[in-house]
Structure 1
């Protein structure tokens, strides 16, 4: 991974800033909501105590029958069409029935629907009426209570028969309608307003199931109270909707309406509302459970308040972007819970403030992130460029033979004057190359120095051996004299090779380039070699188009001479040689291939070093003779900005030496 990518990864750590900001805004939003919830709960408790003190809500022992407001006129016919709007809030009656109660200006209506597929029929006046399927209706007022029997042998109108003595204020006869089908029967009746009922009881008797024939579930009557709603309106704070509910959630009174109109701060857009619900207010109840015009609220919070536990909840508002805070507290008197007070307050300020804080923080964080990332990217780019310059300079400073190039020798190593750590590194490289350059120069001149110093003692040894030849020596000393002369000859050859190597290096460096067609140089060399190779075959392959190159043609010819001399040492008398000239994108390539033994793997990396050979003596046919000649080839290639290489042919028939040339630099005339 590059340094630039590493610094970019480090820059990504600044993403923790918007995450921390989001957590902070979310925590602040939670604290703000909790503060509002506590304030609304305190207001709800105060209103509930006021309702208890004024006696507006009395303790309700047990459960009651809830009487709904009839939304349309009801016709007493035994059918449930008129009751359809009220059916979702029907009350359970017995094991298989449901009960609906409604009131309007004409009176109190009762509709009972009993599911019973096995029927036992009898009229209310029959002697065995209590043994058949029937309903028991119980009416109670301040004077007492009275039971009535409702039974019919066939669909149609019926008259309820009283089972108890008369009670003042309660009717003697009650008219009703009885309808039935295969699934059960339905009873519908109307009671006048002037009965002033306090309790009402309804019992269902199934002859097939048995049980108490006169049993009835008697409860107090509950309903919406305009008087309670008026008192509630005087106690509730502004812009707050209040509802008084029975412990089971039935609506007893209501005051105020939720203010869902946009405030002075405007209305949140769909994206802001989505962000608020997704990132901040992740726990909002569904608004459908808290509808404003239903007679009963069946929610967990109302049930908890009905059990005596105050609770608050945030829910979604009916309008986009709004939220509603609801606080439910029990209305408790002398340890008995008479109902539940529910206060609801619409809020747009919380989402708006939270969204604005979140968006502002995110914009600031991402702005800081972009600036920090850009600064780090620029810093990483500049640092990478500086390190790249240092790397390129280090790679160019030293040539393949260990010598330093002219750029470094002129003291142009980059960034040595920088005051930072990269400058220290550049100065360290500079000192290192100075030491390496000095040592390389010493090694380069060592051969000429040794050849010069060895010439005098070598001449003394030779003259001494010459004098010994003229002296009378025993026969057994003659072999030692021959060996000494052979060793001196070999030492002399080595000294001459060292001197020749130094001279060739100087001559190659001093060669003057010119523009030539490289085809002419290679063709001329090939034509000159054919008379010298005997019976061997020499092929020369040249490109069709001219191949111009700015080079020293005499050096290239000298390199080809060395390659040919090396190839002739290993090519059989009837073998072949092949010279190929090719054009490359940056110059030219000359390849000399010959038939013969393959190169040893251990020698392929050292073929072009100076004075390298596998044998002490260059005996033809004994081993590859790789010495000073290939070193000259390497020097010529490097002088032309290229390299020299050797490889075994793919078919194993011989070896190929390649000379890659890019041309010599052109000299500028100083004016």
Structure 2
């Protein structure tokens, strides 16, 4: 990973700013919602107390039978077709049945559905009716009440017979329809609205259950939607709030107001994206709007149930309009320690989403602007820092390419920051290394120059001793001294020659040549010197053109041939090969002979290293400069020199890549 990438990664840490801002805005939205919820709960509490104080017609405490509004008249035929729209809110009756009540301008309708696998039939007039499957109905109007026995031996029309003495205006018989199916029976009947019934009781008695009380009935008050209570709510309800009063069984008994949003300017209408952002990133615990249908006669929701348990509760849901929310607050209505129901306030609003969205988008825009600025500044800083480091790297590479000598002044030494300190340290280091390299480079020539005079003095002294007439027993020592002086003289001349050779190799000029011609020409010249040692030449059939110095290539081959000739036995083979490579070419000279010692393979191409036997007195010494020259030639051509043992001999290889081309000014 580059320095710029690392700094950009560090710049991404500024993303923590929008994340923290998002958490802050979400907390702010939560606080706004809590404040609005507390205000609506206070309004609900005040409204519940006002209903008790003004003695509004509240729902009765305890359970009641809820009478729904019938939009169309119901036909009394014992079938459930007319009751289908009201069936979702059927009220349970004992273990096996359910009951529904409906009303219109003239009639109160009742249907009772009982599920029974086993049946025992009898008419209501039969004396065995109480031991068969039957219903006990009870109706009451003010102080008057009456019970009825309803049973039938067959499907069709039947009559509920009064069990009690005559009770005012209440009838002594009620016509009904009794229908059966494979799983039970259904009863339908109706009574005039003019009876003003306020209580109704029903009891289901099945012979298969062995009921011990065949005349019992579940008597409850009749409860319906109250226009009077709705008018009282309209007088007390706050503005822009829908208010509903629910019975202890969560039945709707009164309602006023609508879920109408207050007028907002055009710029206050959130777009679809803003609404999506609010619902996805900010709003929490939003209930679905489908559970709040306005035409539902029963509102059985968690917050209503909590209020019926005596605890105020609130809930949020998504509003019907885009970008809106609805807050609901449920408050129990108690009078004399009795629960008479729940008052439910619902308030639509766009204020909270708008405030939260504006705060979030403003924060996001600011955060991303800061992120872009910080990223740009860091990118510029990283680019400048990378450029300065690259200058230091290029200076170090130039020092390495030029044997530790710089082509010019070291960069950044005038900078006042840490990179300036590093550059000055590098400059001092390269000055010291360059001076030491120059000293080593000129050491050979200096030594050869300085040793010339002492060697001349020693040689002249030996000559004077020879003419002075030494005894015969001193002659061997004099000869050894002269041999040592000759060796020292040869060594001094070789050191001087090596120094000149390094300079010559470094200043050699290159040209585009065909290495095939160079290698083949050198091999032809070596055949006259190899004697009885045959030389095989292996070169490609196509030209191998490279930008090299042919004189240096030939000089390196001369050194390799001289080295191979010294170790190849009489009649032994020699082979010269040119092998093209992907980035240059390899020139290999192999010969038959003893293998290379393992300990010496890494030092063969060093200066003054030789594997030949020590020369005898009078022979020219081998100073080990040949392979050193081979290495210098290879390195001058951006390559290397290597040696390896092969089967029956040794192979030396020049790996050449070519000399760099000079640019024309």
- TM-score clears 0.5: yes
Q: Is the 8 A contact 2:491 2:623 kept in 1?
A: no
Q: Does residue 1:647 correspond to 2:643, yes or no?
A: yes
CA distance in 2, matches of 1:154, 1:659: 117
The Cα of 1:95 is off from its aligned counterpart by 0.9
Q: Is the 8 A contact 2:246 2:342 kept in 1?
A: yes
Q: Does residue 1:607 correspond to 2:598, yes or no?
A: no
Question: After the TM superposition, which residues 590-605 of structure 1 pair with which residues of structure 2 at under 5 Å, given as runs?
Answer: 590-605=587-602
In the superposition, relative to structure 1, how do residues 419 and 217 fare at CA in structure 2: closer, same or farther (>3 Å)?
same
Q: Is the 8 A contact 1:48 1:329 kept in 2?
A: yes
Q: Corresponding residue for 1:31?
A: 31
Q: Is the 8 A contact 2:59 2:223 kept in 1?
A: no
Question: After the TM superposition, which residues 8-23 of structure 1 pair with which residues of structure 2 at under 5 Å, given as runs?
Answer: 8-23=8-23
- Residue 630 of structure 2 is aligned with which of 633, 636, 644? 633
Worse overlay, 495-504 or 246-255: 495-504
Q: Is the 8 A contact 2:61 2:341 kept in 1?
A: no
Question: Mind listing any 5+ residue stretches in structure 1 that lack a counterpart?
Answer: 620-624
Q: Corresponding residue for 1:239?
A: 240
Q: Does residue 1:203 correspond to 2:199, yes or no?
A: no
Q: Is the 8 A contact 1:634 1:644 kept in 2?
A: yes
Q: Corresponding residue for 2:333?
A: 331
Q: Is the 8 A contact 1:200 1:219 kept in 2?
A: yes
Q: Is the 8 A contact 2:578 2:586 kept in 1?
A: yes
In the superposition, relative to structure 1, how do residues 121 and 650 fare at CA in structure 2: closer, same or farther (>3 Å)?
farther
Q: Corresponding residue for 2:356?
A: 354
Q: Corresponding residue for 2:347?
A: 345
Q: Corresponding residue for 1:562?
A: 559
Deviations along 1:280-323, one digit per CA (max 9) or x if unpaired, are 11311122222111000111110111121111110122344332
- What is the SS of the residue equivalent to 1:248? coil
- What is the SS of the residue equivalent to 2:98? strand
Q: Does residue 1:662 correspond to 2:658, yes or no?
A: yes
Q: CA RMSD in A?
A: 2.9
The Cα of 1:22 is off from its aligned counterpart by 1.0
Q: Corresponding residue for 2:398?
A: 396
The Cα of 1:592 is off from its aligned counterpart by 3.0
CA distance in 2, matches of 1:506, 1:187: 125
Number of aligned residues: 657
Deviations along 1:62-91, one digit per CA (max 9) or x if unpaired, are 211111111221011111111111111000
Q: Corresponding residue for 2:619?
A: none
In the superposition, relative to structure 1, how do residues 223 and 598 fare at CA in structure 2: closer, same or farther (>3 Å)?
farther
Question: After the TM superposition, which residues 86-165 of structure 1 pair with which residues of structure 2 at under 5 Å, given as runs?
Answer: 86-165=86-165
Q: Corresponding residue for 1:533?
A: 530
Deviations along 1:532-571, one digit per CA (max 9) or x if unpaired, are 1112222344555666666554333322221211222223
Deviations along 1:102-137, one digit per CA (max 9) or x if unpaired, are 111121111000111211111111112111111111
Question: After the TM superposition, which residues 221-620 of structure 1 pair with which residues of structure 2 at under 5 Å, given as runs?
Answer: 221-259=222-260, 263-264=264-265, 265=267, 267-399=269-401, 403-405=403-405, 408=406, 410-463=407-460, 484=481, 486-509=483-506, 511=508, 518-542=515-539, 552-581=549-578, 589-614=586-611, 617=614
- What is the SS of the residue equivalent to 2:372? helix
In the superposition, relative to structure 1, how do residues 120 and 333 fare at CA in structure 2: closer, same or farther (>3 Å)?
same
Q: Is the 8 A contact 1:536 1:577 kept in 2?
A: yes
CA distance in 2, matches of 1:146, 1:516: 131
Question: Mind listing any 5+ residue stretches in structure 2 that lack a counterpart?
Answer: 617-621
CA distance in 2, matches of 1:289, 1:326: 12
CA distance in 2, matches of 1:89, 1:530: 119
CA distance in 1, matches of 2:521, 2:228: 127
The Cα of 1:487 is off from its aligned counterpart by 4.3
CA distance in 2, matches of 1:481, 1:48: 138
Q: Is the 8 A contact 1:328 1:342 kept in 2?
A: yes
Taking structure 2 as the reference length, what is the TM-score of the superposition?
0.91
- What is the SS of the residue equivalent to 1:111? strand
